Structure 1
């Protein structure tokens, strides 16, 4: 009985991918031109496919690295966004608190203004003493004087006694100048009467005197 012999098919002109250029040239020289062109196209296609796979692999690695970087940046942006949202909430709370305080202060200021206006009204409505009449009459004068004024001819002085008066630059207070006389001035000539027994007489040269 004859032993079995495995016979492998022999591909004419086939060159494995690990074969070198010398072996390729030898294989190509042993085949026909048409087969040679076919083998060259096949070899070229294999090289192109290998380069394409390598290029795709590199591109895939780059995309994976870019995806990792974008994932990391996304986490950072999410953390920053959360911090900004918390800060915005705190600022809104502070803004509401400041608005409430401003409203309360405005109401307090309005109340104080009304209170001051009422006090001024009551003070002006109250009867003023004699010294207050002097202050209101001469508060706008900005001179300090302490002198014996010259009396005009038409002023009814009679027997008088002069007391010096003082005025500050702010017109805050002045001493009373009392003039006593025997005769009483008529209200038509000196109309500034302040009481039934006293008259407040104002003259641009004399000043303020009280006729008794």
Structure 2
């Protein structure tokens, strides 16, 4: 019986050792899996932080471009306002001169060639300005 009992106990020890080895291997495997999972999470976090930094830089560039474009627009708008005021003043002067010509025509009896004053607000494309050419360049509309 003793020999039989020893065999049973040594078989049971082998089972215990096998279960213990399996448990240790599983624990090591789980630790390694957890370590890989933490590394993946850290890599993903690093990628997201890099993407955030890149998007913030792009956003800053866009905001700078918008500010620059807005500033350029305000300058052009101010120039347009000055040009409109000058146009109105010149139109008034031309009307006054045409009035003088009409009076001179009536008084003298000689016909004058008095041009019609176009209404720039109604048909701005019909304005004729032969005295000054319009200058343009390729980089005229590039904003930086």
TM-score, normalization by structure 1? 0.41
Aligned to 1:56, which of 13, 20, 27? 27
Aligned to 1:113, which of 84, 106, 113? 84
C-alpha distance in 2 between matches for 1:49 and 1:131: 120
C-alpha distance in 2 between matches for 1:131 and 1:59: 105
Alignment of 1:63-74 (within 5 A): 63-74=34-45
Determine whether 1:94 maps to 2:94: no
**Cα 1:31/1:41, change in 2 over 3 Å:** closer
Q: CA deviation at 1:46?
A: 4.0
| Structure 2 partner of 1:131 | 112
Aligned to 2:75, which of 94, 97, 104? 104
Task: Considering fraction of residues, name the structure with more helix.
Answer: 2
Determine whether 1:80 maps to 2:47: no
C-alpha RMSD over aligned residues: 3.1
Task: Considering fraction of residues, name the structure with more strand.
Answer: 1
Asked which structure has the greater CA Rg, the reply is: 1
C-alpha distance in 1 between matches for 2:22 and 2:64: 62
The structure showing larger relative contact order (alpha-carbon pairs under 8 Å, at least 6 residues apart) is: 2
Listed one character per residue, the Cα deviations across residues 112-140 of structure 1 (whole Å, up to 9, x for unaligned) are 1121122112211221253234x55xxxx
TM-score, normalization by structure 2? 0.56
Aligned length: 106
* Structure 1, unaligned runs of 5 or more: 1-11, 14-26, 137-212
C-alpha distance in 2 between matches for 1:89 and 1:113: 35
* Structure 2, unaligned runs of 5 or more: 106-110, 117-144
Q: CA deviation at 1:54?
A: 0.9
Listed one character per residue, the Cα deviations across residues 11-45 of structure 1 (whole Å, up to 9, x for unaligned) are x97xxxxxxxxxxxxx5xx139xx94x77666544
Listed one character per residue, the Cα deviations across residues 140-180 of structure 1 (whole Å, up to 9, x for unaligned) are xxxxxxxxxxxxxxxxxxxxxxxxxxxxxxxxxxxxxxxxx
